[in-house]
Amino acid sequence: MKRRLFYIFLVILTCSFSAFGNQKDTLITFSSETEAIQKINELIELSESNRNRNPEKSVVYGLYAIKISKEIENYELQCLAEFLTGFACYIQNDFENALIHLDNSLELSRLYKNSEREALSLNRIGNTYQLMGEFGKALNFYEEAMTINRDLQNDQEIARTLTNLGSVYRLYGNYELAINQHLEALSIYEGLQNNEGIAWSALNIARLFKMMKNYQKSINYVNQSLNIYQKIEEEQEISTGVTLCYKELGSIYYEMGDLDYAVEYSERVLARNKSTENKLGIANSLSTLGMIYFDAGNYKKSEGFLIQAKELKDSLNDNTEISSILRYLGKIYLIEGKTIKAREYLNNSLDFAQNQNLKEDIKETYLALSELYKSRNNPYKAFYYYRQFTNLKDSLNNQKINELELQYEFDKEQRRIKFEQQQKEAEQKAKLQKQKIFTWVFVSGFLFMIVLAYVIFKSYQRKKKTNIILTKQHNQIAHQNTIITDSIEYARRIQSALFPQEKFLKRVLAEYFIYMKPKNIVSGDFYWVSEKDDKIIIAVSDCTGHGVPGAFMSMLGIAFLNEIVNKSKTVQANSVLDQLRKDIIDSLHQEYGVKGSKDGMDMALCIIDRKTLKMQYAGAYNSVFVVREKEVHEIKADKMPIGIHAVKVDKGFANQEFELRKQDMLYLFSDGYVDQFGGEKGLKFKQKSFKDLLINISDKSMDNQKTEIEKTMKKWQGEHSQLDDMMIMGVRI
């Protein structure tokens, strides 16, 4: 009856949508493609807002959004609409249609390289298979989703996938792995201040403590989860979380032997599921009540609930808990003396449990079969199944859960105390250090600008005189240019003094070369080398602009790099770039969306461990190349600058590791060389030509490599003017 009403509602709603026009083609129905897209977005919003409150409506809106998206060939919107429709079908336990739409969403997301939507689809497909009892398939989809989310560094989705993985590992009896997944998820959710995620993680951890019979700890975690879900139910009218908590409390009291409380909570869950017409939930509640009444010794009532649960689950194609239901029915028939029927149900229970790798169910069915064969005077089989039971019971020793949970709480408290102490100590030190850096930088910059302004002023004065004395004009102009050039040459000497000196470089790097060709005497490109403990730190940077502005930025970058490395107890490549970006933004008073706030720098930074030759790398647009045996290994940079980006970027730089070998050639560079125009057709030199050049020269001496780089560029550039500063640094490991 309910399904008939749903289809009547679908027809009425479709007719109401048809009021926009009677044409078959959607583009004719809507005045423009823009109007059609607007309608799709409205339908998507309606589908999403109705998903939990009225999933049937959600499906209708989603299907109509899919229809319009297909007709205007907007596959990005179709991908989203397919996902939301599949999600709504999943909420209704319509797993067949859920998988159809979620598979469509997955295919479209892969076709159009939408990694975030691909991971969401994989996770939801895994959820669907898990509810269908196909745990192996669910695990495969969750692991695929995790790989993508780790690559995207999406903490929210990483935590969600960890929770899904933990739930499957729990069903498989791998409790140590399960608790690790849930504790990591809980830690991430706490960092994100995501209350719903915290509640879900706490509920999963409660289930694990229940399985190890630590009931008080389990109840504590359920109550933590319940407090959050009750607020969600009040504010958003979403009741699922509270229902799950009541279900878990009923299960805990059942295992504790408090059958009155177990029945009270289970009947409360059954009533809530009936009010929301959640058939899957109703089946699970009937199953739970059947097991409780079995333990209470009321076998007739138990059998009635279990048979109802089995029939309803069969109608829904729901295989979850089937193994348990069959086992309990088998035990009832054994008590009633119906041993042939008991053996049939217990063997079916074992088959279900083994097919789904449900170790707890396998263990309990072994025990029931042992009791069956004992009653039939078959001691050999009775002993066989009892031995299987004890072996599996020993393997499921889960005391590690307590240790891991306690270690998590201890580490969390220690991190909090340490952080507070370090924060207090660092605040004052940071203020003083910042003042020193800003004073040094701005005094230097101020003096630099005064000198430059003085030169320009004097040049202007002399130019006025040459206008009066026309006969001396040529000589005066030449003299002015000489003064300006000399001043900039002086600025170049100041900049060069800030670079690492040759004596230091020979001691630290041994074999190296530096090819540096500024566009305008002073350079916006710079290199920087330092050492700390047993580590060598190398950076090559390309500052915004070139000439005097770029040189000024390079001075700022060098000063901050020295400060960051000197005050750090340990250095990590991505942490250095993260702090440098923060310092640049703060010192230049940059703000997102403010014109003129885009100054900054691109950089490649490597940290090499002298003992292990393990290299850390972090990059802002600038990659690095390692040439080994005539093969280039490119380590790619993050596509964001050190400074304000075009759009706001909240994530930090990635820390990548690479195992170096002796005789490897490491190359750090700016983009000036590969972007230079030249050749017969006046095109850019490009990265492929650059890689080929490095492969050809990598086995030569440092001086010869530098010479080849200079000769190649001179030949390529020809009569074309230099566009940008050029910087290449090569180091032999």
pLDDT in tens, 48-72: 888 877 888 999 999 999 999 999 9
pLDDT at position 66? 94
Give the separation between CA 580 and CA 476, rounded to whole angstroms: 45
* pLDDT tens string 568-600: 888 999 999 999 999 888 888 877 656 545 678
**pLDDT, tens only, 287-321:** 889 888 998 889 999 899 999 999 998 888 888 88
Mean pLDDT of 459-484: 62
107 φ/ψ angles, rounded to the nearest 5 degrees: -65, -45
- Which alpha helices (H) appear in 112-239, and where do they start and end? 115-131, 135-152, 155-172, 175-192, 195-211, 215-236
What is the model's pLDDT at position 144? Answer: 94
- What is the per-residue pLDDT across 660-678, written as a single tens digit (0 to 9) for each? 999 999 999 999 999 899 9
Query: So what's the pLDDT on residue 16?
Result: 42
Output the six-digit token pair for 196. 């719903």
Query: What average pLDDT does the segment 539-564 reach?
Result: 83
Q: What is the pLDDT of residue 398?
A: 47
Per-residue pLDDT of 611-641, as tens digits, reads 999 999 999 999 999 999 999 999 999 988 9
Report the Cα 458 to chain-centroid distance in Å: 58
Name 538's bridge partners. Answer: 529, 606
CA distances to 431, 448, 662 from 435, in Å: 6, 19, 43
Three-state secondary structure readout of 160-174? HHHHHHHHHHHHHCC
Residue where the block lists tokens 């504010």: 235
| pLDDT tens-place string over residues 17-26 | 443 333 344 4
User: How much is the pLDDT for 674?
Assistant: 93
Pick the range with the lowest mean pLDDT from 110-119, 397-406, 681-690.
Answer: 397-406
Q: Render pLDDT for 138-188 as a digit per residue (tens, 0 to 9).
A: 999 999 999 999 999 999 999 999 989 988 888 787 777 888 888 888 889
Say whether pLDDT at 706 is over 90: yes
CATH code, 1-113: 1.25.40
Amino acid letter, 30: F
pLDDT, the chain, mean? 83
Q: Which of 200-204, 667-671, 725-729 has the lowest mean pLDDT?
A: 200-204
pLDDT at residue number 187: 87
Looking at residue 28, what is its pLDDT?
Answer: 41
Question: 66: buried, middle or exposed (CB in 10 Å: 19+, 13-18, 0-12)?
Answer: buried
- For the segment 409-438, the average pLDDT, to the nearest whole number, is 62
Instruction: With a cut of 80, say whether residue 472 has pLDDT above it.
Output: no
- Confidence band of 492 (pLDDT split at 50, 70, 90): low
The pLDDT value recorded for residue 723 is 85
pLDDT for the residue numbered 555:
84
- Evaluate whether 448 touches 497 at the Cβ level (below 8 Å): no
List the beta strands (DSSP E) in 556-599: none
| 118-135 pLDDT, tens digit each | 999 999 999 999 888 888
DSSP 545: S
Structure tokens given for 268 = 């409360």
- pLDDT tens, 407-420? 565 455 455 555 55
In the prediction, which pLDDT does 3 show? 42
Q: In this structure, which topology does domain 499-732 adopt according to CATH?
A: Phosphatase 2c; domain 1 (3.60.40)
Lowest mean pLDDT among 241-250, 299-308, 340-349, 488-497: 488-497
For the chain, percent of residues with pLDDT exceeding 90: 40
Residue closest to 242 by CA, chosen among 210, 275, 215, 213: 275
Indicate if the pLDDT at residue 722 is higher than 90. no
| Residue 353 and residue 324 in contact, taking contact as beta carbons nearer than 8 Å | no
Report pLDDT for 23. Answer: 35
How confident is the model at residue 52, as a pLDDT? 78
- 89 pLDDT exceeds 70? yes
Strands 677-678 and 631-635: unpaired
Type of residue found at 496: S
Residues above pLDDT 70, as percent of the chain: 82
Place 704 in a pLDDT band, splitting at 50, 70 and 90: very high
Provide CB contacts within 8 A for 56, sequence distance 6+: 6, 9, 88, 92
The predicted structure's pLDDT at residue 8: 40
Entry pTM: 0.45
- Collapsing DSSP to helix, strand or coil, 257 comes out as coil
The residue with greater pLDDT, 649 or 604, is: 604
